[in-house]
Amino acid sequence: MTELGVLIVDDEPLARARLARQLEALDHCTLLGEAVDAQTALAQVEALDPDLVLLDIEMPGESGLALAETLSAREHPPAMIFCTAHDEFALPAFATAAAGYLLKPVSREQLSAAIEKLQRLSKPQRRLATVDSGQGSPSRRQIKAVSRRGVELLEVGTIRCLIADSKYVVAHHEGGETILDESLKDLEQEFADTFVRVHRNALVSRRYIAGLSRDGGSYRVLLKDSGERPQVSRRLLPEIRQLVEELGR
């Protein structure tokens, strides 16, 4: 089972504490943080990039259902499991693409089963995963981009990092910056041997990684021949640390 970073969203301290205890007893789950309302939860999702959000429905301010709709509209939404005392919201909850709906008090067995279920791929998902991985299809050496100079071909080997900015992806390379009309997810899948994800909105080229630097409570990747310092998400930090050590040997 894949290691999951989890965010708990609930305005009740006892409910948050109970879920935290349940998670501690489960393998492959790490509690990244907690939030008491939707606004705080959105900020936490940006900062922590969780794989899974356990969320209540009735909270002060925006409801858990509204929060789930906002999260599900993201390019790479986290999985969501509702943990609530109200059974009447099940249908609208699953309409937000929720992976589970558990009634309080949530037991460890219920939570474990829901998490295991969300990590199992259906047959169509496995087929898509195989196609998306690009097996048997060599990646391009150049990427087509449109700039004020017209259409240009950008050499993949010159790109230091790829940063998602709103609706676009910006490639930072030896010649400056170029906007690409391709999603970060598609670029990550096609060029998995060249780039590594360090944050929800950033990929960096393995060949240009020079190290890590601490920036307050977070870390950033140092890149050769580039002033860009992409932030590393807390969830991905152990993996990036190991990669930096391997590249330095």
SS3 content of the chain, % helix, strand, coil (to 5): 35, 35, 35
Residues 6+ apart with CB under 8 A from 203: 161, 162, 184, 187, 188, 191, 195, 196, 197
Tell me the pLDDT tens digit for each residue of 26-43: 888 889 999 999 999 999
Contact call for residues 200 and 49 (beta carbons, < 8 A):
yes
User: How much is the average pLDDT of 77-102?
Assistant: 83
- Output the pTM of the full model: 0.56
| pLDDT for res 158 | 93
The span from the CA of 196 to the CA of 229, in Å, is: 14
Residue ranges and CATH numbers for the domains of the chain are 4-120 (3.40.50.2300), 142-248 (2.40.50.1020)
Tell me the pLDDT tens digit for each residue of 125-183: 555 444 444 444 456 788 877 665 556 778 899 999 999 987 788 999 988 888 887 88
User: How much is the average pLDDT of 111-133?
Assistant: 64
Contact call for residues 36 and 11 (beta carbons, < 8 A):
yes
First to last CA, the chain: 30
| pLDDT for res 70 | 92
Average pLDDT value for the chain: 85
Residue 87, both tokens: 């059974």
User: How much is the average pLDDT of 190-195?
Assistant: 91
Q: Which of 102-116, 142-156, 213-227 has the lowest mean pLDDT?
A: 142-156
User: How much is the average pLDDT of 6-35?
Assistant: 93
Sign of CA dihedral 187, 192, 198, 203: negative
Contact call for residues 120 and 79 (beta carbons, < 8 A):
no
